[in-house]
Structure 1
Amino acid sequence: MKSIAKQSPTPPRARAPRLDREGIEQAALISELRARMPKVADLIYHVPNGGHRHKSVAGKLKQQGVVAGIPDLVLTMARGGYFGLYIEFKATPPNDAGVSAEQHERIRKLNEQGYLAIVCRGHFEAVEAIRDYLRLSPTVVVIQ
């Protein structure tokens, strides 16, 4: 009699972890700024506002002032009559996400307050936007 080997069902394939393309590209941008524009790198920072968090952590952060729609990067250099540059960073198409209603609204409010707030899709577009911004003459602040 033939031995019938019991075959176990093929285990389901685990999904490959989702690549954070936006995070990877933003890290490349910061790395390039550190290497090529250290004065800019010293005055730009990331606002870790998004991402998935446990409900209790999200609640605490909201109490501490986290607000939906704040752009990802802030360059604290005043140029061209602006107080600073805010960049809502998105990955390069076709891996980019849409701009949410909260992000559009926050960008509008920042622009109304004298900041330049923009959306950049990808590392290269962001570098060019920063270079364009730096070509503007420094904003003169008069302290009385």
Structure 2
Amino acid sequence: MAKGPRFDLAFLGNQMEKRKNWKKRGVKAGHGGDFNICDPLAEINRSVSREIQPPAPATINVALVDTNEIPAWAIRILERDSEVARSATSKKRVELVSPHKTRIAQGIKKPSELNDTKLAEHWLQVRIFYTLEVDYPDEYEFAFAVPNGGHRSKRSASLISYEGQKKGTPDVFIPIPKGIYHGMFLEVKTEKGTASKDQKSKAELYRQMGYYVVIAKGYDACMAQLTQYFALPSFDNKTTLAA
């Protein structure tokens, strides 16, 4: 049960006024002395103050982080996201509820990974899913990444193919029907990346099956396509987008 006053302030004020009148008239309390007005009122004020006062936000000194080698996008997240900042500034390994926030904090701690060109597409996708989780939580619940070969060891790449992974399958799938489409597939590419023959073939195959499929280069282009799709009306079997 919650602690604190069980009556509203109007009731309490009325009771205080009654006690003041009793005191003026010389009415005594049950213990034989005068009614104590000040102490209960002070306690009420303290109780109300404790209930409505919000907790002070934790302060994290992000200035302690050397940002010279950290990309601008990661710095912006560090400055505005207290969870990422807490993990990135902790000497211990901190696993956050969000895997995307955890990974970004890891990258801030180790800028060489953030700047590894072999991981450029990896970081691009981490950033996209971070944005979906923070800014589009409803859509994020449905969105998921499709595991592909990428920069895996030969054994790891062969294992996922045994498990059903198929070449050319787009990186991200969002099974939310919008407009005329059954869902959206997004192939994520860096600014300099190019789609393979298999990827182009799979994209066309899914388009023919009624999905919105796009190959986008860079964070801004990927997010523009995603937000454009999210803005479509729920499945109406008529509204389209130009892929």
User: Taking CA–CA contacts closer than 8 Å with sequence separation of 6 or more, which of the two structures ends up with the larger relative contact order?
Assistant: 1
Specify the SS of the correspondent of 1:97. Answer: coil
Does residue 241 of structure 2 align to residue 108 of structure 1?
no
Deviation at 1:124, TM superposition (A): 1.3
Q: Which segments of 5 or more consecutive residues in structure 1 lack a partner in the other structure?
A: 1-15
Residue of structure 2 aligned with 1:33, choices 118, 132, 136? 132
Q: CA RMSD of the aligned region, Å? A: 1.9
Q: Name the CA distance, whole Å, in 2 between partners of 1:28 and 1:105.
A: 26
Q: Which residue of 1 aligns with 2:225?
A: 129
Q: Name the CA distance, whole Å, in 2 between partners of 1:27 and 1:128.
A: 16
Does residue 189 of structure 2 align to residue 71 of structure 1?
no
| Contact in 1 for aligned 2:149/2:157 (Cα 8 Å) | no
Residue of structure 2 aligned with 1:90, choices 174, 189, 193? 189
Specify the SS of the correspondent of 2:199. Answer: helix
Q: Which residue of 2 aligns with 1:118?
A: 214
Deviations 1:52-76 (A, max 9, x none): 4344443332222111000000111
Q: Which segments of 5 or more consecutive residues in structure 2 lack a partner in the other structure?
A: 1-111, 238-243
Q: Name the CA distance, whole Å, in 2 between partners of 1:66 and 1:27.
A: 20
Deviation at 1:50, TM superposition (A): 2.3
What is the one-letter code of the residue matched to 1:84? G
Q: Name the CA distance, whole Å, in 2 between partners of 1:29 and 1:102.
A: 23
Deviation at 1:43, TM superposition (A): 1.0
Specify the SS of the correspondent of 1:34. Answer: helix
Deviation at 1:140, TM superposition (A): 5.3
Specify the SS of the correspondent of 1:125. Answer: helix
Residue of structure 1 aligned with 2:157, choices 48, 58, 65? 58
Q: Name the CA distance, whole Å, in 1 between partners of 2:227 and 2:213.
A: 15
Residue of structure 2 aligned with 1:47, choices 146, 154, 159? 146
Identity among equivalent pairs (%): 24
Residue of structure 2 aligned with 1:24, choices 123, 127, 150? 123
What is the one-letter code of the residue matched to 1:103? Q
TM-score by length of 2: 0.47
Runs of 4+ that moved beyond 4 A: none
- Bigger share in strand: 1
- Bigger share in helix: 2
